[in-house]
């Protein structure tokens, strides 16, 4: 039996990772210094802390596109995060980047989403307008650094610097409260860049699948677009080959075809990401390490062709699925119920659990209620709004 301890894993990273990857042994550490784990690297340890957090478990009941209470087979934030982590891990492995860091960042990247997706986020952002606003990507860091109470005195899960830095995307609005050691804007390490692009690859594909599953868009409508069209051709080729090689005589049914098309589309995007990023790393010979790789524009990228096709599909999803009257109405109504819950707690702060009440003096009432409501699941909001 092969036993690997942390030092062996770190030595292995030194042998197999690209010089521009983030190496666990060179991590800049945690806010509260801790003794290293005997078996796991710092990023594996971060991953496990995220996986065991309450915020992670709540993702199972949070909206991706359709409210999490709509049906059993649609994506929620949890299944989305798992899909992203699988893509990011395999793309990173192929590129010689740190798969543990990529997996960790992917599992955490949507923890800050409030109930009811982007519509819920906009509503909460308006409610907190005069108090620094609400941004899911900055809220992730409030959760990991503070709201998860594994360590006392606001150390949260006490994660490694590199994990935290990869989670800062876009500019954090002025006045939004975050740990003082974090910059308001940062370009992530390569592993974080990969997660960012895998996030998009995962959701264009699975949202297409959910739109088909829910009957909001038909396949023929998607097939007008370049990416789904190519995915269809490739999926049929693969199925034909499989049938002729294995002697299967039955034609695939429509459901099997859809599954094939979606998985083919994801593979096409990840392969393109790996190829284009590999080429850009090859060209970036002067970039020596992970810090130099952390500059705009991203070194992780798609080819121009695929980038354009992804935009086309996204635009279509936006018009035909995200803003589909049925979807939009369901999420709008749900977000309005969340607003009522927020206002009720704001006018009656004794409704807050004890662990939030003790934060009011330090954080202010609005932010405390925003943290509490933002952490809620879709189901919990529904329950509160009926009580």
Binding interface with Mg ion (CB under 5 A): 110, 199
Shortest distance in whole angstroms from residue 101 CB to Mg ion: 17
Shortest distance in whole angstroms from residue 378 CB to Mg ion: 16
Distance from C-alpha of 26 to C-alpha of 99, rounded to nearest angstrom: 15
Give the nearer residue to Mg ion in terms of CB position, either 194 or 369.
194
Look at the block and give the residue holding tokens 């907190």. 128
Give the nearer residue to Mg ion in terms of CB position, either 204 or 293.
204
Give the nearer residue to Mg ion in terms of CB position, either 23 or 56.
56
Cα 179 versus chain centre, distance: 21
Shortest distance in whole angstroms from residue 285 CB to Mg ion: 32
Give the nearer residue to Mg ion in terms of CB position, either 59 or 235.
59
Distance from C-alpha of 273 to C-alpha of 387, rounded to nearest angstrom: 48
Give the nearer residue to Mg ion in terms of CB position, either 200 or 234.
200
Cα 373 versus chain centre, distance: 20
Shortest distance in whole angstroms from residue 286 CB to Mg ion: 32
Q: Are 197 and 109 in contact (CB under 8 A)?
A: no
Of 73, 76, 71, 81, nearest to 116 by C-alpha is 76
Length of the chain: 387
Of all residues in this chain, which one has the CB nearest to Mg ion in the complex?
199
Q: Are 290 and 256 in contact (CB under 8 A)?
A: no
Shortest distance in whole angstroms from residue 236 CB to Mg ion: 30
DSSP label at residue 145: I
243-280 burial code (b ≥16 CB/10 A, e <16): eeeeeeeeebeeeebbebbbebbbbbbbebbbebbeee
Structure tokens that stand for 159 in this block: 């994660």
Shortest distance in whole angstroms from residue 81 CB to Mg ion: 7
Give the nearer residue to Mg ion in terms of CB position, either 270 or 287.
270
Q: Give me the sign of the Cα torsion angle 46, 48, 54, 59.
A: positive
Shortest distance in whole angstroms from residue 203 CB to Mg ion: 6
DSSP label at residue 252: P
Structure tokens that stand for 184 in this block: 């308001």
Shortest distance in whole angstroms from residue 3 CB to Mg ion: 36
Q: Are 131 and 366 in contact (CB under 8 A)?
A: yes
Distance from C-alpha of 365 to C-alpha of 345, rounded to nearest angstrom: 10
DSSP label at residue 339: H
Q: Are 195 and 97 in contact (CB under 8 A)?
A: no
């Amino acid at each position: 039996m092969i036993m690997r301890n942390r030092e062996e894993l770190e030595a292995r990273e030194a042998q197999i990772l690209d010089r521009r990857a983030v190496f666990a042994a060179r991590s800049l550490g945690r806010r509260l210094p801790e003794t290293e784990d005997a078996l796991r690297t710092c990023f594996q340890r971060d991953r496990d802390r995220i996986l065991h957090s309450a915020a992670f478990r709540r993702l199972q009941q949070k909206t991706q596109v359709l409210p999490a209470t709509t049906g059993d087979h649609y994506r929620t934030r949890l299944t989305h995060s798992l899909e992203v982590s699988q893509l990011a891990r395999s793309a990173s492995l192929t590129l010689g980047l740190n798969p543990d860091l990529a997996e960790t960042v992917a599992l955490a990247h949507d923890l800050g989403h409030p109930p009811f997706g982007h519509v819920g986020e906009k509503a909460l952002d308006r409610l907190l307008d005069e108090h620094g606003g609400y941004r899911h990507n900055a809220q992730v860091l409030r959760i990991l650094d503070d709201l998860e109470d594994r360590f006392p005195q606001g150390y949260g899960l006490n994660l490694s610097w590199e994990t935290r830095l990869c989670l800062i995307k876009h500019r954090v609005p002025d006045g939004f409260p975050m740990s003082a050691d974090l910059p308001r804007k940062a370009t992530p390490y390569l592993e974080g860049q990969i997660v960012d692009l895998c996030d998009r690859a995962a959701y264009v594909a699975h949202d297409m699948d959910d739109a088909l599953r829910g009957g909001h868009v038909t396949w023929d409508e998607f097939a007008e677009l370049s990416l789904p069209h190519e995915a269809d051709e490739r999926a049929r080729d693969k199925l034909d080959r499989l049938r002729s090689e294995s002697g299967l005589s039955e034609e695939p049914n429509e459901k099997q075809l859809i599954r094939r098309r979606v998985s083919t589309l994801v593979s096409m995007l990840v392969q393109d990401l790996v190829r284009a990023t590999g080429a850009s790393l090859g060209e970036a010979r002067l970039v020596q390490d992970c810090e130099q790789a952390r500059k705009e524009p991203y070194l992780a990228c798609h080819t121009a062709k695929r980038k354009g096709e992804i935009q086309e599909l996204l635009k279509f999803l936006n018009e035909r699925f995200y803003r589909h009257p049925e979807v939009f109405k369901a999420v709008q109504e749900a977000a309005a119920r969340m607003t009522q819950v927020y206002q009720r707690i704001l006018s009656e702060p004794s409704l807050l659990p004890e662990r939030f009440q003790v934060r009011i003096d330090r954080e202010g009432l609005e932010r405390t209620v925003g943290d509490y409501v933002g952490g809620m699941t879709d189901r919990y909001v529904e329950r509160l709004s009926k009580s």
